[in-house]
Amino acid sequence: VNFALGVDVGGTNVKAIAVTAKGRVLAEASVPTGGAHLPRWKNAARSAAAAVQRELHSAPTWIGVAAPGLPAPDQRRIAHLPDRLPGLEGLDWQRFFAFPRAIPVVNDAQAALLGEVWLGAARRAQNAILLTLGTGVGGAALVDGRLLRGHLGRAGHLGHISLNPKGERDIVNTPGSLEAAIGNCSLPARSGGRFSDTETLLAATLRGDADARRIWLDSIRALAAAIASLINVLDPRTVMIGGGIANAGPRLFAPLRRHLARFEWRPAGAKVRIVAAQLGDRAGAFGAARCATTFERDPR
């Protein structure tokens, strides 16, 4: 049976999923990289791909890669990723895997969105965005049926929108960004050093800790304002929220929906669907596989 191999290169693991063009999973593997700053991630990528092929006793028809950074315009390599995964920048994946077909390379957040639109929370969507809330805030956007890539492949960096022009600048210089308002990376700063991850913060809110509650609700108000902004710019039908912080479930979604009832522009009552992403950390590999099956026909 023909299958696509989706490979998702992350800082801690490389995932590989073998999936048919209809979305049936045949095999999968995950191999630790040993650290985002070591060159060993390449071995992990080879091992993950090899493990899946060994299990299936056959080679993939298509391969697609999801990776952090900005893909080159030809979508065959990552053109820009400073300071992480040494050797990824510029790597030609078709050569790396010695594969007979072109291997498309997609930004990891963009791949996760494509995965969710293929097999997850926004199937067959024409207009959807994904926000992943974790250490940082990632994102991607599908508008009018097409993934936004942009001039440098950076379209959809939804975590880097300003909610305070006078705020501190984040890793890409955005002042007072959404990432700084809700990402785990900023929680120590937001809590005067009391909390370092959202799970602990949420546990404290459940114990009735007033500071924790204020910090959490402020971050959700900021998220709601950001989503209202993105709705006005990208006009999605569905907003998907993934990443570790989305595991908060109703403690996230209930106050978020309350704020959106105030902040969202609802022309003639039309309301955007706010839903949890469904594919978790497999979304990127699914999206990469999906890209691979359609790349030669429609490279966009």
> Residues in the site for a second copy, rule: CB under 8 A?
70, 79-80, 126-127, 141, 143-144, 146, 148-158, 160-166, 169, 172-176, 181, 221-222, 224-226, 228-237, 262-265, 267-268, 270, 300
When the beta carbons of 172 and 203 are compared against a second copy, the nearer one is: 172
> Least distance in Å: CB of 294 to a second copy?
16
When the beta carbons of 23 and 175 are compared against a second copy, the nearer one is: 175
When the beta carbons of 65 and 182 are compared against a second copy, the nearer one is: 182
- Of 53, 84, 32, 7, give the one whose Cα is nearest residue 284: 7
How far is residue 5's CA from residue 52's CA, in Å, rounded to a whole number? Answer: 8
CB atoms within 10 A of CB 226: 24
When the beta carbons of 44 and 85 are compared against a second copy, the nearer one is: 85
When the beta carbons of 21 and 148 are compared against a second copy, the nearer one is: 148
How far is residue 63's CA from residue 18's CA, in Å, rounded to a whole number? Answer: 9
> Least distance in Å: CB of 52 to a second copy?
32
CA 281 to chain centre: 9
> Least distance in Å: CB of 59 to a second copy?
32
> Least distance in Å: CB of 75 to a second copy?
12
How far is residue 108's CA from residue 285's CA, in Å, rounded to a whole number? Answer: 9
- In terms of DSSP bridges, do strands 105-107 and 128-133 run parallel, antiparallel, or are they unpaired? unpaired
> Least distance in Å: CB of 274 to a second copy?
14
- Of 79, 80, 130, 85, give the one whose Cα is nearest residue 109: 130
